[in-house]
Amino acid sequence: MSDVTAASPSVRPRRVVTDRRGGRSASPYDAFNLGGHVGDDPADVAANRERLARELGADAGALVWMDQVHGTGVAVVDGPVDGPLPATDAVVTATRGLVLCVLVADCVPILLADSDRGIVAAVHAGREGVRQGVVPAALSAMASLGARARHVSALLGPAVCGACYEVPDAMQVEVARVAPAAAVRTRRGTAGLDLRAGVDEILRRAGVAEVVHDPRCTVEDRQLFSHRRDGVTGRQAGVVWLD
């Protein structure tokens, strides 16, 4: 797991991105699969989630999961949640101790934090989410709690890179209408999408000045889960919380 921390005198957002090492799941979910919707043994997923909570120093009940649907649904939470939040692709909180989790295996996990106001968000940004506006929706929900875009920092976790993400020309055009920077050419010279570049553009256009990229490509890095590379596979997580 890689840990990215933003310091603040009063509140400290913490951000972690997991990989596939060290868990209990068997192939093709080996080993640290955190996704409960991909066909893995539920007992193995539960053990992996308990391990995640333990390593973060949190109670397993403090982890907040989403039923991600590649949409723009945003939930604001102020306490533990029983089960995954239905039809949700971004979750926001100002409550210390709640650990917000986003599951990915090629999409962009976005971890947002306004350390001045003590507000964090975890966002699932795939092609459709970017096109439909999940990032502005998450920023709007943070603003409803008092966050200001100029004080928000963002970590964009590992995702499929533009060189590996080939799409039909029409699909590229649809996403480029919202995020022109996402339109790239793959290493084969065909139409591609660099979703992290597109998300970066959207965030900066909204006034977010600090955007950090984890440059790893999920397709290229075998220590990461990739649905595009492997088909049936597990999910890593991006997590963010307030200390």
Domain count across the chain:
1
Give me the domain span that covers residue 132: 2-159+211-242
- On whether residue 77 sits in a domain, the answer given is yes
Contact between 226 and 165 under an 8 Å Cβ cutoff? The reply is: no
Residue type, 135: V
pLDDT at 213: 97
- Give the C-alpha distances (Å, rounded to integers) separating 162 from 97, 187, 216: 35, 8, 11
d(CA 36, CA 129): 21
Contact 192, 167 (CB under 8 A): yes
pLDDT at 11: 76
CA distances from 195 to 8, 67, 119, 168, 231 (A): 30, 21, 24, 15, 20
Q: Is residue 173 part of a domain?
A: no
Is residue 55, in this structure, part of any structural domain at all? yes
Q: ω into residue 28 within 30 of 0, thus cis?
A: yes
So what's the pLDDT on residue 235?
98
In a domain, 202, yes or no: no
Question: Is 165 within the bounds of a domain?
Answer: no
Confirm whether 112 is domain-assigned: yes
91 falls within a domain = yes
Q: CA–CA separation, 106 vs 172, rounded Å? A: 17
CATH assignment at residue 10: 3.60.140.10
Q: Give the integer Cα–Cα distance in Å for 223 and 199.
A: 24
User: What is the pLDDT tens value at each position of the chain, 243 positions in all?
Assistant: 544 433 344 679 999 999 999 999 999 999 999 999 999 999 999 999 999 999 999 999 999 999 999 999 999 999 999 999 999 999 999 999 999 999 999 999 999 999 999 999 999 999 999 999 999 999 999 999 999 999 999 999 999 999 999 999 999 999 999 999 999 999 999 999 999 999 999 999 999 999 999 999 999 999 999 999 999 999 999 999 998
C-alpha angle 59-152-183 in degrees, rounded to nearest 5: 105
Q: What is the pLDDT of residue 10?
A: 65
Give a yes or no: residue 184 inside a domain.
no
